[in-house]
Amino acid sequence: MKSEPLVLGIETSCDETAVGIVRGRTLLANVIASSVEEHALFGGVVPEIASRAHLESILVVLDAALKESKISLNDIDAVAVTAGPGLVGALLVGVSSASGLALGLGKPLYGVNHLAAHVSVDLLTHDEPVVPVIALLVSGGHSSLLQIDDITSSVVKLGESIDDAAGEAFDKIARVMGLGFPGGPAIDHEARLGNARAVDFPRGLTQSGDWQTRPFDFSFSGLKTAVARYLESTPKFIRADVAASFQEAIVDVLLLKALAACKKTGIDTLVIAGGVAANSRLRTLAAERCQAAKIRLRVPPAGLCTDNGAMVASLGSLMVASGRSPSQVDLEADSSLPVTSVSLN
């Protein structure tokens, strides 16, 4: 089996059309086109607009990635694509584009899990392939704590959000505060000038009973309600303070549970991945707390945390290198693919 496979990865599960190319664990190209500005007008991702944009952009993005990588399409060893989870119409554009490429080239096709790909992108910037790891996966659609013994085959879910995803909470609070969409970067920016201790917002599922029954699950809906209520009852609220306090509450609970998972399992490496991993406060606080707890922390650079093609290519490359069999060429996208299914047959 090739140790440094050349893999092209396609990602279209939400609103970014992305193509990445990696050789082994070396990133050769990472090109992203986003339709986020069209969605911002509606305050959220509009599936049909996203799907149309994917079809409009995919060839342009593919072409740009090939130019950036300086490779020829014929040289690739495999095509990888996000097969789920995500918006079904959006996923189908990527999967069809990938199967067209794979059949056209006569190369194997790997339909992979978007969430596992978020974690695997870490390997492009960190040398040692440390396993097992605890992964905190936080994005607009997901908040999960995972135990990963082998990213190509063994992902165990320790817990997840029972209501909103972390990124979703950011979006909703940003909307209530009039900060626009997407909410994550807006709140991160606003919070820089605020006092994180100004308001003591609730930390969901951290009561003593919760640590017995749902130690690794998250809940952000109570926090959302608390912020909305605070804004209503405090006409002269200081926007930056509210943003900072809200952000602190989310980041605090994410790290409390992630470190508890490390302690419980005895695993001393934590990977934080997904779009919310780009949040500056999460990165800073994670570094502080991991150092104190003697946990090795690995967070991909912010640019690789949000959805991209390099993460799909990197997981594809690992699949090829570890001898996993490719997907059927007529694989079906699965919009609700569970995080424990790393790839599709």
Partner 1 sequence: MEEFFFVSITLAIDTSTSRTSVAIVDEGALLWHGFRDGATSHGSAVPALVSEALNRAPIIEQVVVGMGPGPFTGLRIGIAFARTFALARLIPVIGVCSLDAIASQVHEKDDFIVATDARRREVYWAQYRAGVRVEGPHVDLPSVLVERGLPVFGEGAVKYSIAQNDEDQFPDMVALVNLAQDSDFQIDEPLYIRRPDAVPTSERVK
* Contacted by 139, from Zn ion, partner 1, none: CB < 5 to 8 Å by type: Zn ion
**Distance between CA 328 and CA 306 in Å, rounded?**
28
Nearer to partner 1, 92 or 244 (CB): 92
* Contacted by 77, from Zn ion, partner 1, none: CB < 5 to 8 Å by type: none
DSSP 8-state class, residue 319: H
**Distance between CA 278 and CA 301 in Å, rounded?**
8
Nearer to partner 1, 63 or 288 (CB): 63
How many C-beta atoms lie closer than 10 Å to residue 123's C-beta? 23
The nearest distance, CB 333 to partner 1, in angstroms, is: 6
* Contacted by 143, from Zn ion, partner 1, none: CB < 5 to 8 Å by type: none
Site string for partner 1, 81-110 (x = CB under 8 A): ------xxx--xx-xxxxxxx-xxx-----
What is the CA 4 to chain-centroid distance, rounded?
Answer: 24
Contact 309, 20 (CB under 8 A): yes
Site for partner 1, residues 27 to 86, rule: CB under 8 A: 39, 42-49, 51-52, 54-55, 58-59, 62, 73
* Placement of tokens 């599936």 in the chain: 47
**Distance between CA 21 and CA 9 in Å, rounded?**
6
The nearest distance, CB 39 to partner 1, in angstroms, is: 7
Nearer to partner 1, 99 or 343 (CB): 99
Site for partner 1, residues 202 to 241, rule: CB under 8 A: none
DSSP E strand boundaries for the chain: 6-11, 16-23, 26-34, 78-84, 109-113, 133-138, 143-150, 154-160, 269-273, 296-298
142 binds partner 1 (CB under 8 A): no
Q: Tokens representing 61?
A: 């993005």
Site for partner 1, residues 15 to 34, rule: CB under 8 A: none
User: How many residues are recorded in the chain?
Assistant: 345
Report the interface residues with Zn ion, using CB under 5 A: 139, 307
Report the interface residues with partner 1, using CB under 8 A: 39, 42-49, 51-52, 54-55, 58-59, 62, 73, 87-89, 92-93, 95-101, 103-105, 168, 171-172, 329-333
